[in-house]
């Protein structure tokens, strides 16, 4: 049963209404700077949380620490197969969009929440806006790739984070709807980097100094089904972590913990002297960990980009990336689950900091650019 705040169905009338769909941790982070910019720009926002990530450590606490209001609606969809989850979201979001009757529906990224929000909005009299449009990994077997493609082709306004994303949209005949705004992750990282040291104390519980000495630990995240559902890949990743010459801080997603247990690998991590297995960490604490780590081992798309923005080398447990700019800069290496490549990524020489040149992801003002695009669409 969806929970609703009182009075949000009726639009103010004097101010345009934006309905924002979020459902997973990366979307909460990306939506935060845009929510602040929308409020400053004279828009009313109705925030709808699908409940795709239903653990409070992955959702609820983020709204508090990101300094944005809790959602107006929580649909409580929870887990399930891709089709099952997306179908439940689609039905509930369609009802909510029809009731609110917003001028814009904004979706973020590439999750099932993104696709459901995109389909629901495209069936109704509203303008669908896709933030982080134009990203392509080239792997159609990935659910995220299908979600990106379908949402982009349904959207009325495509907000691309990079020039390469603009080129992808042009190849697909979508240039007329596309605007390059920069990446809202750059806005979020800039805000969090300034705020985190004062409010996020994550080091004491890990047994490292605050601030930690350079090169004291590796930060790891693993959550993609390609790695968690394949026992051989997950076993190779676990061995890399337990063999690491540096301590590994490993905030484990609940889905990852379940997969580790299913494949008989959880005990090896719990008993390892190299691995510090912890609960999921809030965004501000996670930014502090990424900033302080010697390097980051991950299969997350967002973390690849955030480490680049923070100047921390990244070792990516995938064979492809939506963020090729990080690889081209020498700041990210794709190793898949190959044992030798993973070991080399963890022990190889740390690259020099990128040259002082404009970031491919913009200067941290993407949220303001997004509001300007919406203003232009309305005029």
Tens of pLDDT, residues 108-137: 999 999 999 999 999 999 999 999 999 998
Which 8-state DSSP code applies to residue 158?
E
* pTM beyond cutoff 0.75: yes
Within the chain, residue ranges assigned H as helices are 25-40, 60-65, 82-100, 112-122, 143-154, 163-171, 184-199, 225-228, 231-242, 254-262, 266-271, 283-292, 301-310, 324-328, 339-347, 366-378
Question: Which tokens sit at 57?
Answer: 């450590």
Q: How far apart are CA 10 and CA 72, in angstroms?
A: 13
User: Does the structure show a pLDDT above 80 at 350?
Assistant: no
Phi, psi of 251 (to 5 degrees): -70, 115
- Mean pLDDT computed over 59-79: 77
pLDDT digits (tens, 9 = 90+) for 20-33: 999 888 898 999 99
**CA dist., res. 72 & res. 168, Å (int):** 34
Residue 153 C-alpha from the chain's centroid = 21
For the residues 199-213, what does the mean pLDDT come to?
65
CB atoms within 10 A of CB 81: 9
What is the mean pLDDT of the segment spanning 83-96? 88
CB contact at 8 A, 253 and 221: yes
Predicted confidence (pLDDT) at residue 272 exceeds the cutoff of 90: yes
pLDDT band, residue 11 (cuts 50/70/90): very low
pLDDT at 58 over 60: no
Choose between 253 and 134: higher pLDDT.
134
Whether 223 is a known active-site residue: answer: yes
Across the range 244-262, mean pLDDT stands at 92
Yes or no: say if 99 and 73 are a contact pair by the CB < 8 Å rule: no
Phi, psi of 353 (to 5 degrees): -60, 145
Distances (CA, A) of 5 to 48, 78, 99, 121: 11, 20, 13, 21
Q: Please, is 9 exposed, middle or buried when counting C-beta atoms within 10 Å of its C-beta (0-12, 13-18, 19+)? A: middle
pLDDT band at residue 356 using 50, 70 and 90 as cut-offs: low
CA distance 60 to 66: 10
Check if the beta carbon of residue 59 is closer than 8 Å to that of residue 49: yes
Percent share of the chain, pLDDT over 70:
87
Torsions phi, psi for 161 (to 5 deg): -80, -25
For residue 46, the cross-strand partners are: 19
**Cβ atoms of residues 228 and 234 within 8 Å:** yes
Catalytic residue among 153, 223, 253, 263: 223
Domain annotation for the chain: domains and CATH numbers: 3-183+362-378 (3.40.50.2000), 196-347 (3.40.50.2000)
């Amino acid at each position: 049963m969806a929970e609703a705040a009182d009075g949000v169905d009726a639009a103010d009338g004097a101010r345009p209404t934006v309905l924002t769909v979020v459902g997973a941790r990366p979307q909460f982070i990306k939506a935060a700077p845009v929510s602040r910019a929308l409020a400053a720009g004279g828009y009313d926002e109705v925030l709808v949380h699908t409940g795709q990530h239903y653990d409070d450590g992955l959702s609820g606490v983020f709204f508090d620490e990101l300094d944005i209001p809790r959602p107006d609606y929580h649909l409580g969809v929870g887990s399930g197969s891709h089709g099952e989850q997306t179908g439940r979201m689609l039905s509930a979001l369609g009802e909510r969009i029809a009731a609110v009757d917003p001028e814009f529906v904004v979706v973020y990224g590439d999750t099932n929440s993104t696709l459901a929000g995109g389909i629901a909005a495209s069936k109704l009299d509203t303008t669908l806006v896709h933030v982080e449009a134009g990203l392509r990994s080239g792997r159609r077997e990935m659910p995220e790739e299908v979600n990106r493609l379908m949402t982009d082709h349904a959207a009325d306004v495509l907000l691309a984070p990079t020039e390469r994303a603009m080129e992808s949209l042009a190849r697909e005949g979508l240039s007329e709807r596309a605007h390059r705004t920069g990446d809202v992750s750059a806005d979020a990282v800039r805000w969090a980097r300034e705020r985190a040291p004062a409010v996020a104390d994550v080091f004491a519980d890990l047994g490292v100094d605050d601030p930690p000495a350079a090169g004291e630990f590796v930060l790891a995240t693993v959550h993609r089904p390609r790695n968690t559902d394949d026992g051989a890949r997950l076993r190779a990743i676990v061995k890399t972590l337990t063999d690491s010459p540096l301590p590994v801080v490993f905030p484990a997603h609940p889905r990852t913990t379940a997969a580790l247990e299913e494949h008989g690998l959880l005990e090896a991590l719990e008993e390892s002297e190299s691995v510090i297995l912890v609960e999921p960490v809030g965004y501000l604490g996670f930014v502090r960990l990424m900033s302080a780590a010697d390097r980051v081992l991950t299969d997350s798309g967002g973390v690849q980009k955030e480490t680049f923005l923070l100047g921390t080398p990244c070792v990516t447990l995938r064979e492809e990336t939506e963020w090729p700019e990080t690889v081209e800069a020498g700041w990210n290496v794709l190793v898949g689950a190959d044992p030798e490549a993973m070991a080399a990524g963890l022990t190889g020489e740390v690259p020099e900091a990128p040259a002082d040149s404009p970031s491919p992801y913009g200067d941290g003002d993407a949220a303001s650019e997004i509001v300007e695009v919406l203003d232009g669409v309305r005029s």
